[in-house]
Amino acid sequence: MRTFLATLFVAISGTLILWISTDGGRAFTAEEARRLEIRENPRSVPDWQLQNQDAETFTFQNWHGHLIVVDFIYTSCPSVCLILSGNLKNLQKDFSDEGKSDKLRFLSITFDPEKDTPQRLKEHLSHFSADFKNWVAARPTSPSQKEAILDFFKVIVIPDEYGGYTHSAGYHIINPDGKLVAIFGMEQMDELRAYLNQALEGKDNASEN
Amino acid sequence: MSATEVNGKIEYSDPENRNALIAVKSHLIAGFLVFLLMMIAGFTMRAAQGTWLEIGADLFYQIMTVHGVGVVGAAMITSTGVQWYFLRQYVRLSNGIFWTNFFIFLTGVVLILGSIFVGKYGGAWTFLFPLPAISMGAWSNGAAALFQAGLLIIGVGFLILYLDFGRAILARYGSLARALGLTQLFGKEPVDYKHPAAVVASTMVLIVNFMGIAAGAVVLVMGLINLFYPEFKPDALLMKNLIYFFGHVVINATIYASVIAVYELLPRYTGRPWKTNKPFYAAWFAIVFMVMGVYPHHLMMDFAMPNWALVVGQVLSFGSGIPVMVVTGYGALMIVYRSGIKWTTSAKLLFLSMFGWWAGVIPAILDAMVTVNRAFHNTLWVPGHFHFYLLLGLLPMLIGFAYFLAGEGDSKEQPKATDKLGFYAYLIGAFMTSMVFLASGASSIPRRWAAHMPEWVSFAQVGTVAAALVVLGMLLFIIRALVSLPGASNPR
Amino acid sequence: MRLKIKPEWLLLAAFIILTLPPMQRFLEQSMVTHMLVQLPALTVIGWIFGRTLPESWSNKIAPWNRWGITGMALAIVIMTYWMLPRALDAAVSEWYVELGKFITVPAMGIALGVSWPQLNPIAQGVLKLEFWATFMRLGWLYLDLPDRLCANYLLSDQRVLGQLLLLIGSAWAIAWTLRVMFGTKIINT
């Protein structure tokens, strides 16, 4: 009997723990967990200082009122970042036609600030024939800022065996109020497009009313 | 361990024996009822193809799914009942485990029925990846998952039972090799003519089903992961290999589990012992590998399969029926020859099963030829092949055993008229069902089609009549079983 | 001359070595050593410790753990938890999760060491097959998944681990087959 009770206790509390630690069976990996967490608890983005491809310093505060799509890159990247930036270019093109480009900003942050000088960031953008009007590539201004930024977005960067990096890849959406509200994976471009459309239109309606 | 002890039978207490008998009867009755329902399901499908019955295509595929999984399940649970009944006389088996498997099986059946008729799952019992996940709205992912979970649960139940078999066999014989008679075959021990055939057959079934269930445990979970995590796309060919390894092994093994009834009962009816010998051991040793190696005849149309695998599949399929068939068929003939056997319904059925097994090999071998297979495998030829085996090979063994257990072998009474009617209705119906399938296959009529083209309809109509006869015969058997089985005492 | 060291001290020493930050970092820099060296080592330490528990302790536990069922349930819960990719990630990134790992995994080992021998042989067999199947399933999964499961580990690492799991599973299956087919022992491995 005591065994039965003890087993029942272990089974129930164990199931509960597993249930809670997977957010109710919805997130099994760290990547899923960070996306889910942001969706449910949007967080205000601190006002970091970044240096853009023209070596000018700016802060997120400067972009208040814009919808911002952030991705993380390093310019010597041979694989994932190229796809990330390529997708971003497509997004920029799609949304420039529709007259929504004013309200939309693209930001590629490098996590390799020592190598990625403003000069290299500029080259990187030009590789994708980016429209500099609303696409900025930037680097953190100090190592501690870099750590703070990566921590905030929960982006994990690890060195790979070829001297480069493997890192969490995705598009991080910051809303006009300066809150991180959603993260999309590279495989979710359609969802991302729909989300941006809705967010931009929602804002249009709001301003019309 | 002295020789007499090795060959002696295990003694159980009276309550244990009574409980065991109830358990075996429960397996038989549950199995036969499922068989009957599945035959009615088969009849329904044939009638629908024959335009005598109007059912929707979605319902047809649900019935087809339940027919497939139901017959495999019934064959497993019934043949396991037969196997356990005889095996427990030679090694000490646990009643509790036997019942546990039975109830786990019933739980799995409930889940599967729910997934099919409530969840509308109709992706065939082979749950072939990636079909369960892409139903195009016919059923939900949950239904497909429930179906696979049901199979998984049934697998766990049988795993528990086989572990008990393994434990008991090892406790008595030390190793499976010795239980299979390999030590005798290879001259490490003198040949013991009294080494029980039931132990040899059970060991073989235990080995292959253990492997099959292990493969099933992996492949079912991979399928489940795919259902809920579609980014994970396992190699479809590997999945298919594992699924057919699992599926073919478990259904194939049922006939080897049931043939124990032939080894045990014919000696009773003839008064001569069934002697095991070297060819017998060699045949059963060979069949361990053949049962596991024949499944590729389901993959001969997959051009991506490596050629050597197809060649191995063809060779093993050719050979697979032969060893045990020859040894058993020859043994059965010899034991009956001039023995003055009394032809009870049970004895007739057991002999019919020998014929069904023998003759069933022929369409199987034709299908196993790569060139024929490429044209035939998606036709009704293949249902013809397995209906032949199951209706004329497996079921007669099972029903024959049920007659024995109902006490027919002991009593002086002659077979009743209803038994005779049942026997011949079943015999003719089963033979016709199989032959119509084979003829349809030879006329290139595809299998797994809900609606048939006008020129195929007459085949389906003949098939419907044949199925009706099978249902009639089975119904008579079952009424008989329900009337006389529950009260029958254990045959001495 | 033989040094008389109590086995408990050896276990403790092994545990402390594993907790040393350099050792910890060394084993956790790769998914393979994390999952196939560190976690099993912690489990084994717990297991041996569980086997050498003083008599009075085991007597106290016994009525709560008949047939070893409670302990097995506990072990299964802990094992399942550490099979979550995000749990492994969190252990690398957050110190408190790491602390939890160094407590719960040896605890799982203790639970196993105490309970496994008491467990019904049939249940042992079922769990063993299930454990084996988990090796094969995870191995397959790691080889086939297009993405990384752990943010802290490389895809190539995940692939190597997949191959190793399949290899270990196969070797285990062969060993098991040989023992059951030709060995004289009752299913015990």
Say if residue A81 carries a ligand binding annotation: yes
Tell me: do C73 and C150 sit in the same domain: no
Q: What is the pLDDT of residue A209?
A: 38
Per residue in B294-335, pLDDT tens?
888 888 888 888 888 888 878 887 777 677 677 777 777 777
Tell me: do C94 and C174 sit in the same domain: no
Q: Which residues of C touch A24 (CB under 8 A)?
A: none
Tell me: do C110 and C36 sit in the same domain: yes
Q: Please count the other Cβ atoms lying within 10 Å of the Cβ belonging to residue A112.
A: 19
Q: What is the mean pLDDT of residues A127-137?
A: 80
Is the pLDDT higher at A198 or at A171? A171
- B121 occurs within a structural domain: yes
Q: Which residues of A touch C80 (CB under 8 A)?
A: 14, 18
Tell me: do C98 and C149 sit in the same domain: no
Tell me: do C55 and C96 sit in the same domain: yes
Q: Decide if pLDDT at A130 tops 80.
A: no
Cβ–Cβ below 8 Å for A7 and C70:
yes
Euclidean distance between CA atoms B433 and B429, whole angstroms: 6
The CA–CA distances, whole Å, from B457 to A24, A59, B78, B212, B463 equal: 53, 77, 34, 38, 10
**Beta-carbon contacts of residue B313 (< 8 Å; ≥ 6 apart):** B293, B294, B295, B296, B297, B299, B300, B368
Is the pLDDT higher at C13 or at A98? C13
Q: What is the pLDDT of residue B33?
A: 93
Per residue in A19-48, pLDDT tens?
888 887 778 888 888 888 888 888 888 888
Per residue in B254-290, pLDDT tens?
999 999 998 888 888 888 888 888 888 888 888 888 8
C172 touches chain B (CB under 8 A): no
Of C119, C145, C168, the residue at which a domain comes to its end is C119
Cβ–Cβ below 8 Å for A3 and C67:
yes
Q: What is the pLDDT of residue B9?
A: 80
Cβ–Cβ below 8 Å for A17 and C81:
yes
> Which chains reach chain A with 3 or more Cβ–Cβ distances below 8 angstroms?
C
Which structural domain range is residue C86 located in? 1-119
> Which pLDDT band, with edges at 50, 70 and 90, does C188 fall under?
very low
Contact (Cβ atoms closer than 8 angstroms) between residue B222 and residue C137? yes
Q: How many residues are recorded in chain B? A: 492
Q: What is the pLDDT of residue C70?
A: 87
Euclidean distance between CA atoms B117 and B41, whole angstroms: 13
Tell me: do C99 and C135 sit in the same domain: no
Of C95, C119, C143, the residue at which a domain comes to its end is C119
Q: What is the pLDDT of residue B2?
A: 36
**Beta-carbon contacts of residue B333 (< 8 Å; ≥ 6 apart):** none
Q: Which of residues 69-128 of B touch C (CB under 8 A)?
A: 97
Nearest to B205 by CA among B355, B346, B114, B76: B76
Q: Decide if pLDDT at C180 tops 60.
A: yes
Q: Is B109 left (phi over 0), alpha (psi -120 to 50) or beta?
A: alpha
Cβ–Cβ below 8 Å for B163 and C125:
yes
Per residue in B183-231, pLDDT tens?
888 888 888 888 898 999 999 999 999 999 989 989 999 999 888 888 8
Cβ–Cβ below 8 Å for C153 and A158:
yes
- Determine the distance in angstroms separating the CA of A152 from the nearest CA of chain C, rounded to an integer: 13
What does pLDDT average to over chain A?
Answer: 81
Q: What is the pLDDT of residue B412?
A: 53
Cβ–Cβ below 8 Å for B231 and C145:
yes
Measure CB to CB from residue A27 to each of C70, C73, C86 and give the nearest one: C86
Measure CB to CB from residue B232 to each of C122, C141, C184 and give the nearest one: C141
- B68 occurs within a structural domain: yes
- Determine the distance in angstroms separating the CA of B173 from the nearest CA of chain C, rounded to an integer: 9
Q: What is the mean pLDDT of residues C62-89?
A: 86
Scanning every residue of chain C, which has its alpha carbon at the shortest distance from the alpha carbon of A167? C151
Q: Which residues of B touch C173 (CB under 8 A)?
A: 214
Buried b (16+ CB within 10 A) or exposed e, A57-76: ebebeebeebbbbbbbbbbe
**Beta-carbon contacts of residue B481 (< 8 Å; ≥ 6 apart):** B28, B29, B32, B402, B406
In sign, the C-alpha dihedral spanning C164, C167, C168, C169 is: positive
Q: Decide if pLDDT at A206 tops 60.
A: no
Q: What is the pLDDT of residue A195?
A: 84
Is the pLDDT higher at C69 or at C5? C69
What the block records as the tokens of B376 is 């035939």
Per residue in A45-103, pLDDT tens?
888 888 888 888 888 777 878 888 888 888 888 777 788 888 888 888 877 766 666 77
- B310 occurs within a structural domain: yes
What the block records as the tokens of B150 is 């049901």
Which structural domain range is residue B253 located in? 10-484
Task: Dump the DSSP string for B321-381.
Answer: THHHHHHHHHHHHHHHTTS-----HHHHHHHHHHHHHHHHHHHHHHHHSHHHHHHHTTBTH
Cβ–Cβ below 8 Å for A14 and C93:
no
Q: Which residues of C touch A6 (CB under 8 A)?
A: 64-65, 70
- B1 occurs within a structural domain: no
> Which pLDDT band, with edges at 50, 70 and 90, does C67 fall under?
confident
Euclidean distance between CA atoms B86 and B70, whole angstroms: 25
Q: Which residues of C touch A18 (CB under 8 A)?
A: 77, 80-81, 84
Tell me: do C148 and C95 sit in the same domain: no
Q: What is the ipTM of this complex?
A: 0.79
Scanning every residue of chain C, which has its alpha carbon at the shortest distance from the alpha carbon of B158? C126
Cβ–Cβ below 8 Å for C85 and A29:
yes
Number of domains into which chain B is organized = 1
What residues of chain B score a pLDDT lower than 50?
1-6
Say if residue A124 carries a ligand binding annotation: no
Q: Decide if pLDDT at A176 tops 60.
A: yes
pTM of the model: 0.84
Q: What is the CATH number of the domain that holds B183?
A: 1.20.210.10
- B62 occurs within a structural domain: yes
Tell me: do C56 and C102 sit in the same domain: yes
Tell me: do C35 and C78 sit in the same domain: yes
> Which pLDDT band, with edges at 50, 70 and 90, does A207 fall under?
very low
Per residue in C93-149, pLDDT tens?
888 888 888 889 989 988 888 888 888 888 888 898 889 999 999 999 888 888 888
Q: What is the pLDDT of residue B409?
A: 53
Number of domains into which chain C is organized = 2
